[in-house]
């Protein structure tokens, strides 16, 4: 029976750092897409009511209510069958796009909830000084909503980073993809997967600290 080997754990941890830039790149770019699309969705749903709003609500419900793994498989392997154009995407592009779409659903709900928490008098005040509804949203309501939603958005980003651990199933050599290859080559599954787990844990701790600091800073400025 093989015993735990600290040296292999340390070696695996060092080797896995080679995939860290790719993992962070996918996470940051996916969050950028999620933040952009999610903000637009939340603003539209806040300003308008009607059939399109119902459709967007279904979009949010689907991507929040189904596992990310299914979404990755559905859009990377399934969608090209009916829309060949999507078959031209490589694993890197598909990972960013699909995870960005997934993140947008969570961002949309966070910002929409933040917008709903703002006093309606803020909207009326914007209109009273000559701003139209779009200018009022951009200059008055949305900045306040972003401050309120920041802690939740930070948690969404952490979720996106952790979600990148599934992209190896599309063939991406990120942290989990590299860990899988290392474990298959040396059969030290415990040490290798513990190393990748520790790496994700450290990333989560760092991002959580940064998120808390930003939230405290904004709270101090508000006071």
Domains in the chain, ordered, with CATH? 6-222 (1.10.3720.10)
Distance CA 215, CA 223 (A): 12
**Percentage of residues of the chain with pLDDT beyond 90:** 65
- Selection from 36, 153, 150, 160 nearest residue 96 by Cα: 160
Q: Which of 116-120, 152-156, 182-186 has the highest mean pLDDT?
A: 152-156
- Assigned token pair, 137: 């949203």
Return the pLDDT at 221.
65
pLDDT mean across residues, the chain? 90
Report the half-sphere exposure of 162 (CA within 13 A, side-chain side): 14
Q: Is the pTM of this model over 0.95?
A: no
Q: How far is CA 114 from the centre of its chain?
A: 18
Contact (Cβ atoms closer than 8 angstroms) between residue 104 and residue 112: no
pLDDT of residue 129: 84
Are residues 54 and 60 in contact, defined by beta-carbon separation less than 8 angstroms?
no
Classify the C-alpha dihedral 166-168-173-175 as positive or negative: positive
pLDDT tens for 30-84 read 999 999 999 999 999 988 888 888 999 999 999 999 999 999 999 999 999 988 8
Residue 219 binned pLDDT confidence (cut-offs 50, 70, 90):
low
**pLDDT class for 140, splitting at 50, 70, 90?**
confident
Which tens digit of pLDDT belongs to each residue from 93-133?
999 999 999 999 999 999 999 998 888 777 777 878 888 88
Closest to 19 in 3D by CA, of 178, 164, 150 = 178
How much of the chain is helix, strand and coil, in % rounded to 5?
90, 0, 10
Percent of the chain scored above 70 by pLDDT?
Answer: 97
220 pLDDT higher than 80: no
* Rounded CA Rg of the chain: 21
Which position has the higher pLDDT, 20 or 132?
A: 20
- What contacts 96, CB < 8 A, 6 or more positions away? 26, 29, 30, 33
* HSE toward the beta carbon, residue 5, CA cutoff 13 A: 13
Contact 41, 58 (CB under 8 A): no
- Candidates 138, 158, 143; CA nearest to 208 is 158
Query: Pick from 188, 166, 186: which is nearest to 175 by CA?
Result: 166
Q: According to the model, what pLDDT value does residue 223 have?
A: 55
Q: What is the mean pLDDT of residues 186-211?
A: 94
Q: What is the pLDDT of residue 110?
A: 95
3 state SS of 19: helix
pLDDT of residue 215: 80
């Amino acid at each position: 029976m093989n015993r735990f080997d600290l040296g292999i754990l340390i070696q695996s941890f060092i080797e896995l750092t080679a995939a860290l830039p790719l993992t962070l790149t996918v996470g940051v770019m996916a969050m950028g897409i999620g933040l952009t699309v999610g903000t637009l969705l939340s603003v539209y749903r806040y300003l308008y009511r009607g059939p399109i709003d119902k459709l967007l609500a279904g979009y949010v419900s689907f991507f929040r209510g189904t596992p990310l793994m299914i979404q990755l498989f559905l859009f990377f392997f399934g969608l090209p069958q009916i829309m060949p154009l999507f078959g031209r995407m490589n694993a890197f592009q598909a990972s960013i796009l699909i995870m960005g779409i997934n993140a947008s659903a969570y961002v949309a709900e966070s910002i929409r909830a933040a917008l709903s928490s703002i006093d309606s008098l803020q909207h009326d005040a914007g209109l009273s000084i000559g701003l139209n509804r779009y200018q009022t949203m951009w200059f008055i309501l949305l900045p306040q909503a972003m401050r309120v939603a920041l802690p939740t958005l930070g948690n969404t980003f952490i979720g996106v980073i952790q979600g990148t651990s599934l992209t190896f199933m599309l063939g991406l050599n990120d942290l989990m993809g590299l860990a899988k290859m290392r474990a298959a080559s040396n059969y030290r599954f415990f040490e290798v997967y513990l190393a990748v787990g520790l790496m994700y844990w450290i990333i989560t701790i760092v991002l959580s600290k940064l998120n808390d600091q930003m939230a405290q800073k904004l709270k101090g400025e508000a006071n």
